[in-house]
């Protein structure tokens, strides 16, 4: 998952038939953008939770197929801009438009078009490029007659090259979205090796996994006030022992990843929520996050979690900078 250190390996095909380009996934919060990215990739890359505003960074996912390589960009959701963090997230999302060959606007069928949807669509660049697709997600949550006005309103806007209803969580319609994207990519060589999934570091992915598990365990209104910082990331050799004829003998050493991370909140009351009674909630977060990290790195992990209060970190430029925003 590390950035490539050598030129991308050529896919054995001709430029006449191979396509490569960038598809930016955008939309308001909680419409299923990250779920769609994971479904398109066929594996989990972006974290997901029921809480709006889970995605905070421009996240690249690379899908290589025999006929194309698609560079998916998942973006933070468009919504209110109450804090400096919100403003920076919106700026990051808009900056990705300049990289796009295809813009995939995601809306939710169970909510119809909202004012945020309309404002976002009004800002989309017009013209032949980039191509514009509308992915109406969560069609499994509404009856078909209620979906028709959503499609009709979208068609009347005369903005989208194609409209695709889908249910990203179940995979229904995901292949149609992928085919619509590939058909609109330019002919080009692959930009990344065929086995590369993202350009993000393991430390970044680890911090996101920890934040995801925290959001799932806490189940409180803390998603925007919660951040994760990786403080230490060290691989150590751990000694093993075995008994031979009743005596303990030293066995081969095995690698173990030691990760120290800090969960950052804005108020002492939020810290109390994260920690829980007698530390129970923090322990549950650590257990779930360690399991997820071991699946990510493919080796045993020792995870040491701490909680700190950074007052108003979402409104302080220096705090945002130290957290990578």
Each residue's pLDDT tens digit, 36-72: 999 999 988 887 777 666 766 778 899 999 999 999 9
- What mean pLDDT is predicted for residues 178-193? 94
pLDDT in tens, 250-309: 767 678 899 999 999 999 999 999 999 999 999 999 999 999 999 998 889 999 999 999
Same domain, 171 and 318: no
DSSP letter, residue 197: -
**Gap between the Cα atoms of 42 and 36, Å rounded:** 10
CATH number at residue 148: 3.40.50.300
DSSP letter, residue 7: P
Same domain, 170 and 239: no
pTM: 0.82
What pLDDT, on a 0 to 100 scale, did the predictor assign at position 307? 96
Structural domain for 219, as ranges: 202-322
**Over 50: is that where the pLDDT of 2 sits?**
no
| 46 domain-assigned | yes
Same domain, 301 and 217: yes
**Over 60: is that where the pLDDT of 17 sits?**
yes
What pLDDT, on a 0 to 100 scale, did the predictor assign at position 53? 66
Same domain, 132 and 242: no
CATH number at residue 282: 3.30.300.20
| 3 domain-assigned | no
Backbone angles phi, psi at 236, to 5 degrees: -120, 155
- What mean pLDDT is predicted for residues 62-86? 83
**Gap between the Cα atoms of 202 and 212, Å rounded:** 15
Neighbouring CB atoms inside 10 A of 180's CB total: 20
Same domain, 261 and 134: no
Under the banding of pLDDT at 50, 70 and 90, the label for residue 241 is low
What pLDDT, on a 0 to 100 scale, did the predictor assign at position 138? 94
**Over 90: is that where the pLDDT of 104 sits?**
yes
| 14 domain-assigned | no
Comparing 125-129, 191-195, 301-305, which segment has the lowest mean pLDDT?
Answer: 125-129
CA triplet 309, 313, 317: central angle to 5 degrees? Answer: 145
Comparing 141-150, 226-235, 302-311, which segment has the lowest mean pLDDT?
Answer: 141-150
Same domain, 218 and 295: yes
Domain tally for the chain? Answer: 2
- What mean pLDDT is predicted for residues 144-171? 90
**% the chain with pLDDT above 90:** 49
């Amino acid at each position: 998952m590390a950035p490539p250190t050598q030129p991308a390996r050529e896919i054995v095909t001709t430029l006449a038939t191979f396509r490569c380009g960038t598809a930016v996934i955008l939309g308001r919060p909680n419409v299923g953008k990250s779920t769609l990215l994971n479904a398109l990739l066929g594996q989990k890359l972006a974290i997901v939770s029921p809480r709006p505003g889970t995605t905070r960074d421009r996240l690249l996912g690379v899908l290589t197929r025999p006929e194309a390589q698609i560079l998916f960009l998942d973006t933070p959701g468009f919504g209110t801009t109450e804090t400096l963090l919100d403003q920076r997230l919106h700026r990051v999302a808009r900056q990705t438009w300049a990289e796009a060959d295809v813009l995939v606007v995601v809306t939710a069928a169970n909510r119809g078009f909202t004012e945020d949807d309309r404002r976002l669509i009004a800002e989309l660049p017009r013209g032949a490029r980039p191509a514009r697709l509308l992915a109406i997600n969560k069609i499994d949550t509404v009856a078909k007659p209620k979906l028709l006005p959503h499609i009709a309103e979208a068609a009347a806007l005369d903005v989208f090259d194609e409209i695709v209803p889908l249910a990203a969580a179940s995979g229904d319609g995901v292949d149609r979205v992928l085919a619509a994207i590939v058909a609109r990519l330019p002919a080009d060589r692959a930009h990344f090796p065929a086995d590369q999934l993202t350009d993000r570091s393991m430390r970044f992915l680890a911090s996101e996994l920890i934040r995801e598990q925290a959001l799932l365990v806490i189940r409180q209104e803390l998603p925007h006030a919660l951040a994760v910082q990786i403080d230490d990331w060290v691989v150590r050799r751990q000694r093993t022992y075995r008994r031979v004829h009743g005596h303990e003998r030293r066995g081969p050493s095995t690698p173990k990843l030691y990760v120290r991370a800090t969960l950052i909140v804005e108020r002492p009351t939020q810290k109390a929520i994260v920690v829980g009674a007698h530390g129970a909630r923090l322990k549950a977060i650590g257990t779930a996050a360690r399991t997820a990290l071991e699946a990510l790195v493919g080796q045993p992990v020792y995870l040491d979690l701490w909680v700190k209060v950074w007052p108003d970190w979402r409104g302080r430029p220096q705090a945002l900078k130290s957290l990578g925003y």
